[in-house]
């Protein structure tokens, strides 16, 4: 059904609206709510039956949860927050002003508060923040039959029962059992004889790295442990998936020159869109200031042969693009650990070759038309510059992400502005130096 | 341990090499193999014990599986291919030359061949290609006890037993049971009273859309059905995750102006890298040819006021970036269905505002330095051009992806070259027209 929620909210026809809302399936309902303005969203949200509102709240983007919390009465809020998983609750608390977050924490029952605080204690990008402490563990030495009874008794509380950590003294993880294996085994067997080597992640480890571990092993969940391998919680495939997709999105946004929005486009204000883009544009304008200076320096050469100006956008555009291509490829390879900082020479050799081949191809194609438009001297200048600029740009595009990683900065953030600055400035210098040499100025 | 596999392969010290290989855990081993040249990879792969080699093969990128197949003896290959899941096998078969694929298919046992052919029958980007037909279904009307016995008996064959479709006459899906629910329930209860509404996807549906369904519902797997809701297979969260990550990667690569590589960087030949980048560069050179023509047209104006040339790279660069930012944001919003083609006016209004605000900010900052370097007339021309170009670029960047979607083309592919062409060409025209008006040329 094609309902226009925003029109319904504004028309004030709440009966039709409530019917409209209830006719949607859960994901569509969440989508539709996320497309509304914040005020309209609060109105629509209040019309939902309580059980449904809890499920919708869970699925909303954390930023929108934060906004809603400030618009609802505090009793409603307490219920909503209580129903969230500890890890999702932490994400929400991070979105709220400190005073609101504190009062929410105090409203929780002691057990839930303890778990939430445990998760809140870990560093911002660590696994600890994304794990859920609600994990069901099997004591080492149990029989399969006893383990199955433990699963049946404890499953209400646990986030997953499909991956079951086996723990020894002091909750040290000694293995993992899959529920699948458990069901297939003789009830009298001892789980220690059946369990597999545990693949674990440390709570203080980086989220993305941990998520890649989950993915590389095709696991439904992995136990999260402390430095002594004691069980703290579990990281599930859902959470891993969200971490990896957020990361990919971040890289895609950065490649396009914006900060990731982290909220639906239509629910983002124009000011927030401007803010997500202005930093990168300011960087670029500084890079561009360099090109203005270079052109200023060569103004005499330009005045003598105005035709040289014709190819400036073409050269800069091509150089920037060749650099961006190399950087995009290498940034991704670094993120996937296909390339490591020690591979710097291998990468440089390849990108240098790729840039040279691209440059020669483009120079060959450009020579004819350029000679026809101007004269063959300028066409020679253009072609030689294309070859050199492409080679330099690809090399810089391959190198800069590796150097960024070495000095411990996110390659996706640092690379684009640096490459643009480098390629634009040096590209023009190369062009004019070749021009002076060939044209004898 | 930091071993250099490539050096070990070349040194011919196979004993140390084998020990080195066996000392690695599975994902690291796969990573290391993927970093080798194809020939070295085949050498290293042959040294692995058989059971391990099967697991490694499963985890290699499909393109590298394809290469290996052509380098190993056909008896080894038969074992490796037989062990793959039907969906992974199809991905591999797509990589191979038709004749090799045919002979491989003939080598399979009849059951496996039937399943592989079933998967191969679906269109390229459909769910059918990614589903696994090895699914365990519960007959409608069973008791919980009987269902559990079916699960225990059939689990060897099934891809997952955690999500169990319930089927009625003609294998029509009438519900789904989670194993979790099954374990928690009274053995005498009838599953039809416990099962939930099935969320299904159709085999002919688009992969990405189906993967988003899996993610939106937080499901471990969803049943794949035909148009009559008959059970065909299952799409698991792993497969959904891979589809979504591939898709994100594709968008990131496109935003950086390259075709996605689909294989590890160091395992990609220089020629393949060149090919993945040249198409986009050729597009760009066509766009740049337009700028050459515009500049040629205004050559008289340029010759009169050479200082105008100073700001050409700055204007084009800024315009291109503002356009790319808008496009990146809108392309993502479209992919996530936060924005639909019918929202064209809402998007246009917002992007026009964002572009205007960005333009005014940049123009304010640029005016002083430009006036100091040249004179205030030219600074006025520059500032006015920045405001207009940013507004146009953001609007075009927001609009073009929506138009691409309307005409049924992937917005991520079409948008960048079109936006660059549009912004570079029209941007220069705007600049020189304003210059002529203000400077009275």
pLDDT digits (tens, 9 = 90+) for B54-91: 888 888 877 788 777 777 766 677 777 777 777 777 77
A182-186, A232-236, A280-284, B292-296 — which is least confidently predicted? A280-284
- ipTM for the complex shown: 0.72
* Interatomic CA distance for residues B318 and B390, integer angstroms: 7
User: How high is the pLDDT of residue B297?
Assistant: 92
d(CA B394, nearest CA chain A) in Å: 11
Q: The pTM is what?
A: 0.72
Residue A20 CB-half CA count within 13 A = 18
Q: Please, which residues 359-398 of chain B have a Cβ atom closer than 8 Å to chain A?
A: 361-362, 365-366, 369, 373
A343–B contact, CB cutoff 8 A: yes
| Interface mutation vs chain A, best among B281, B353, B390, most A CBs within 10 Å | B281
B321–A contact, CB cutoff 8 A: yes
| Interface mutation vs chain B, best among A267, A273, A333, most B CBs within 10 Å | A273
Question: Is the per-residue pLDDT at B364 higher than 90?
Answer: yes
User: How high is the pLDDT of residue A99?
Assistant: 65
d(CA B45, nearest CA chain A) in Å: 18
Residue of A nearest to B273 (CA): A354
Q: Please, which residues 122-151 of chain B have a Cβ atom closer than 8 Å to chain A?
A: 148, 151
Q: Note the pLDDT tens digit of each residue in A292-351.
A: 889 999 999 988 888 899 999 899 889 988 998 898 889 888 877 788 888 899 999 999
User: How high is the pLDDT of residue A399?
Assistant: 93
**Out of A266, A281, A361, whose CB is closest to B318?**
A281
Q: Please, which residues 396-425 of chain A have a Cβ atom closer than 8 Å to chain B?
A: 420, 424
Check: CB of residue B95 under 8 Å from CB of residue B198.
no
- Segment A365-385 shows an average pLDDT of 92
B237–A contact, CB cutoff 8 A: yes
Q: Note the pLDDT tens digit of each residue in A205-255.
A: 888 889 988 888 878 899 999 888 889 889 988 888 888 888 877 777 777
Q: What is the radius of gyration, based on Cα positions, of chain B?
A: 29
d(CA A406, nearest CA chain B) in Å: 18
User: How high is the pLDDT of residue B242?
Assistant: 84
The better pLDDT of the pair A390, B406 is held by A390
B300–A contact, CB cutoff 8 A: no
Query: For residue B392, what pLDDT band results from cuts at 50, 70 and 90?
Result: very high
Judged by DSSP in three states, B90 sits in helix
* Interatomic CA distance for residues A359 and A319, integer angstroms: 9
Check: CB of residue B215 under 8 Å from CB of residue B180.
no
Question: Is the per-residue pLDDT at B17 higher than 70?
Answer: yes
Interface contact flag, A306 B313, Cβ < 8 Å: no
- Segment A383-399 shows an average pLDDT of 95
Q: Note the pLDDT tens digit of each residue in A43-68.
A: 888 878 877 888 888 788 777 887 77
Rounded to the nearest 5°, which phi and psi values hold at A201? -125, 150
Check: CB of residue A94 under 8 Å from CB of residue A71.
no
Residue of A nearest to B267 (CA): A338
B310 contacts in chain A (CB < 8 Å)? 292, 295-296, 299
**Out of B276, B288, B362, whose CB is closest to A285?**
B362
Q: Name A236's Cβ contacts closer than 8 Å, sequence gap at least 6.
A: A132, A159, A160, A220, A221
CA dihedral B430, B433, B436, B437 (to 10 degrees): -100
Interface contact flag, B310 A296, Cβ < 8 Å: yes
User: How high is the pLDDT of residue A165?
Assistant: 93
Question: Is the per-residue pLDDT at A431 higher than 90?
Answer: yes
Most confident of A378-387, B290-299, B318-327: A378-387
Q: Please, which residues 52-71 of chain B have a Cβ atom closer than 8 Å to chain A?
A: 59
A433–B contact, CB cutoff 8 A: no
| Average of per-residue pLDDT values in chain A | 84
Name the H helices within B191-236: 207-216
| Average of per-residue pLDDT values in chain B | 84
Interface contact flag, A162 B220, Cβ < 8 Å: yes
* Interatomic CA distance for residues A93 and A193, integer angstroms: 43
d(CA B347, nearest CA chain A) in Å: 8
Query: For residue A1, what pLDDT band results from cuts at 50, 70 and 90?
Result: very low
């Amino acid at each position: 059904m094609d309902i226009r929620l925003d029109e319904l909210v504004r028309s004030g026809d709440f009966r039709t609206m409530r019917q409209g809302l209830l006719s949607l399936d859960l994901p569509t309902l969440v989508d539709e709510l996320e497309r509304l303005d914040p005020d309209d969203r609060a109105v629509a949200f209040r019309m939902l039956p309580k059980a449904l509102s809890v499920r919708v709240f869970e699925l909303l983007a954390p930023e929108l949860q934060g906004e809603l919390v400030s618009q609802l009465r505090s009793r409603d809020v307490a219920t909503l927050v209580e129903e969230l998983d500890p890890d999702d609750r932490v994400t929400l608390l991070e979105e709220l002003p400190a005073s609101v977050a504190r009062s929410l924490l105090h409203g929780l029952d002691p057990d839930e508060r303890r778990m939430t605080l445990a998760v809140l204690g870990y560093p911002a990008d660590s696994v600890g923040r994304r794990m859920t402490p609600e994990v069901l563990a099997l004591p080492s030495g149990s029989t399969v039959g006893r383990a199955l009874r433990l699963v049946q008794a404890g499953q209400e509380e646990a986030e997953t029962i499909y991956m079951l950590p086996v723990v020894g003294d002091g909750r040290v993880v000694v293995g993992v059992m899959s529920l699948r294996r458990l069901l297939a085994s003789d009830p009298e067997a001892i789980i220690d004889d059946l369990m597999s080597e545990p693949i674990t992640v440390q709570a203080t480890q980086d989220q993305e790295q941990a998520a890649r571990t989950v993915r590389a092993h095709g696991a439904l969940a992995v136990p999260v442990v402390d430095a002594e391998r004691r069980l703290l919680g579990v990281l599930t495939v859902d959470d891993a998936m969200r971490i990896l997709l957020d990361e990919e999105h971040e890289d895609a946004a950065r490649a396009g020159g914006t900060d990731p929005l982290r909220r639906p486009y239509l629910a983002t204000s124009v000011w927030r869109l401007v803010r997500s883009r202005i930093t990168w544009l300011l960087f670029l304008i500084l890079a561009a200031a360099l090109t203005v200076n270079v052109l200023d320096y060569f103004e005499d050469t330009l005045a003598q042969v105005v035709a040289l100006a014709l190819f400036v956008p073409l050269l800069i555009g091509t150089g920037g693009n060749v650099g961006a291509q190399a950087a995009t490829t290498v940034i991704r390879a670094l993120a996937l650990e296909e390339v490591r900082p020690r591979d710097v020479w291998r990468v440089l050799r390849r990108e240098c070759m790729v840039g040279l081949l691209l440059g020669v191809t483009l120079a060959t194609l450009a020579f004819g038309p350029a000679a026809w438009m101007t004269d063959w001297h300028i066409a020679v200048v253009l072609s030689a510059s294309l070859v050199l600029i492409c080679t330099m740009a690809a090399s810089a595009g391959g190198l800069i992400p590796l150097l960024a990683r070495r000095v411990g900065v996110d390659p996706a953030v640092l690379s684009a502005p640096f490459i643009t600055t480098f390629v634009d400035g040096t590209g023009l210098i190369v062009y004019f130096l070749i021009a002076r040499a060939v044209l004898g100025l």
